[in-house]
Amino acid sequence: MRSLISSILFLLPSVFGLAQEQRCITSEKMHEQLLLDPSLAERRAAIEEFTQRWNTDNGAEREVISIPVVVHVVYRTETENISDEHIYSQLQVLNEDYRMTNADAANVPSVWDGVKADTEIEFCLAVRDPNGFPTTGITRTLTTVTNWNGSDNVKRSNQGGKDPWSVTKYLNIWVCNIGSGLLGFAYQPGVAASLDGLVIGYRYFGRDVPGLSSTYSKGRTSTHEIGHYFNLDHPWGTGASNPNCNQSDFVNDTPVQDEPNYGCQTFPHVTCDNGPNGDMFNNYMDYGDDDCLFFFTSGQKQRMLAALNGPRSSLKTSLGCVPTNVGIDEVSLSKRLSVYPNPADNLIHIAMENAMDRTFDVRMLNLMGAEVLLVRALDLNNASIAIDHLPSGLYILEVNTPTERASHRIHIIR
Ligand SMILES: [Zn+2]
């Protein structure tokens, strides 16, 4: 045990002693847990076996998966207490990057056009908390801790942090003064529930909002760390680098590379005999500047979907993004309502059994809970609503009367 502890002690100063910005310590955190928790290696091996088998067998139907997110802001100063808008900007980045609607996807070198992928994963700020009550999906905790130094204590209320919401039903993200120039870290599937989720420095969370680091102001730290959360590794493998070119990220369409790429490399950057195209340094799982990271690959998507059909499958049945309707009769109205087509393009048709001569209010909310459409006093004997002004994505359509409400998830895809 002494040797284990001394290796951990050896590891941590090398991680936290740096003054410069450091992109990610997920690999170090996973190694630390493997040393502390001998059963983790077995769980990781079982997950890897499942992943490889799922990748081979996969021919299953595809669906867009929506991940309920809770953001825990743990702050000591007002600067660290980032605004709701700041958080919305980060959710917007995640939904663009994971659906490949980010504008800079056009900058992916053309040699990788064939492998860049829409992961069909989306993110919503939770609207229902673990107890079934309405929520903004944001918690705020005042702390006396000045610098978390990369510690998991930010996940513990009794240590000045904030306890997680159920990690089987929510992606927990703690935003705090993470310390020592560190941008963020996550854990891959298999770790203890008390550790699961992301920790991101407040200067690296959100896009183009005041107070962000100049190099890392596009929200790509969270995009990268959620890749780890869905079981991705860095392109050079699970260590700090890959000088012998014999380590893998277990993904077939990402080239082997020898070490992290920083800044903005010029294409091609050949290492490990990976020419002519070289390192895939624009991949979200590399270490470049935020405005040089543009895409995931199909192989990475497969691996993430394996996680969502294996160790993280409980997220798919979470009610975290289904609005609550305390005291309102939701069930009977939903049963009588049909909403189609879904996915929809330019029009949504809504029809209701026994609508009679009543009218209904219909509204649509985006994943941040903002109202994007409201139609009052609609006749639901046979109604159509134009949605051609709304961007592609997942929405919640609500039909309301003073005493009833029905909610449907609607995908707009065009
Ligand atoms: Zn990383």
> How close is the Cα of 198 to the center of ligand 1, in Å?
11
Q: What is the pLDDT along the chain (414 residues), one digit of tens a residue?
A: 334 443 443 344 344 444 478 999 999 999 999 999 999 999 999 999 999 998 766 655 568 999 999 999 999 999 999 999 999 999 999 999 999 999 999 999 999 999 999 999 999 999 999 988 889 999 999 999 999 999 999 999 999 999 999 999 999 999 999 998 999 999 999 999 999 999 999 999 999 999 999 999 999 999 999 999 999 999 999 999 999 999 999 999 999 999 999 999 999 999 999 999 999 999 999 999 999 999 999 999 999 999 999 999 999 999 999 887 655 566 667 777 788 888 899 999 888 777 766 778 899 998 778 889 999 888 877 788 999 999 988 888 888 876 677 888 888 887
Q: Which of 32, 80, 122, 225 is catalytic?
A: 225
Q: Which residues contact 410 (CB under 8 A, 6 or more apart)?
A: 339, 342, 343, 344, 348, 364, 394, 395, 396, 397
Contact 72, 172 (CB under 8 A): yes
CATH topology of domain 2-317: Collagenase (Catalytic Domain) (3.40.390)
> How close is the Cα of 382 to the center of ligand 1, in Å?
51
Residue type, 294: F
Question: Do the domains spanning 2-317 and 330-412 agree at the CATH topology level?
Answer: no
Own/partner pairs, 203-207, CB within 8 angstroms, 24+ separation: 205/82, 205/86, 205/87, 205/90, 205/173, 205/175, 206/82, 206/86, 206/87, 206/89, 206/90, 206/93, 207/89, 207/90, 207/92, 207/93
* Burial bucket for residue 2 (CB in 10 Å: 0-12, 13-18, 19+): exposed
Q: Count other Cβ atoms within 10 Å, centred on residue 244.
A: 8
Q: Count other Cβ atoms within 10 Å, centred on residue 42.
A: 10
Structure tokens of 409?
Answer: 């998830």
Burial 132-150 (b: 16+ CB within 10 A, else e): eeebbbbbebebebeebbb
> How close is the Cα of 395 to the center of ligand 1, in Å?
30
Spacing of C-alpha 299 from chain mean position:
18
In CATH, the number for domain 330-412 is 2.60.40.3080
pTM, two decimals, is: 0.80
Question: Domain residue spans in the chain?
Answer: 2-317, 330-412
Distance CA 74, CA 222 (A): 17
* Burial bucket for residue 192 (CB in 10 Å: 0-12, 13-18, 19+): middle
Question: Which pLDDT belongs to residue 325?
Answer: 64
Distance CA 243, CA 240 (A): 10
Angle at CA of residue 185, ends 210 and 120, nearest 5°: 85
Q: Which residues contact 214 (CB under 8 A, 6 or more apart)?
A: none
Q: Which residues contact 408 (CB under 8 A, 6 or more apart)?
A: 334, 337, 339, 342, 396, 397
> How close is the Cα of 257 to the center of ligand 1, in Å?
15
Q: Which residues contact 114 (CB under 8 A, 6 or more apart)?
A: none
Contact 179, 150 (CB under 8 A): yes
Residue with tokens 């995908």: 411
> How close is the Cα of 24 to the center of ligand 1, in Å?
5
Question: Which pLDDT belongs to residue 97?
Answer: 98
User: What residues pack around ion ligand 1 (CB closer than 5 A)?
Assistant: 24, 26
Stated as kind and residue range, the H or E segment containing 30 is helix 26-36
Contact 80, 176 (CB under 8 A): yes
Structure tokens of 374?
Answer: 């409201």
Judge whether 225 counts as a catalytic residue.
yes
Contact 12, 167 (CB under 8 A): no
* Burial bucket for residue 14 (CB in 10 Å: 0-12, 13-18, 19+): exposed
> How close is the Cα of 22 to the center of ligand 1, in Å?
10
Contact 111, 409 (CB under 8 A): no
Angle at CA of residue 348, ends 343 and 353, nearest 5°: 110
- Report CA torsion sign: 286, 31, 11, 71: positive
Instruction: Dump strand ranges (E) for 313-367.
Output: 337-340, 347-352, 359-365
Question: Which pLDDT belongs to residue 19?
Answer: 47
Distance CA 406, CA 334 (A): 5
> How close is the Cα of 226 to the center of ligand 1, in Å?
9
Question: Which pLDDT belongs to residue 4?
Answer: 43
Angle at CA of residue 79, ends 74 and 83, nearest 5°: 75
> How close is the Cα of 131 to the center of ligand 1, in Å?
33
Spacing of C-alpha 337 from chain mean position:
32
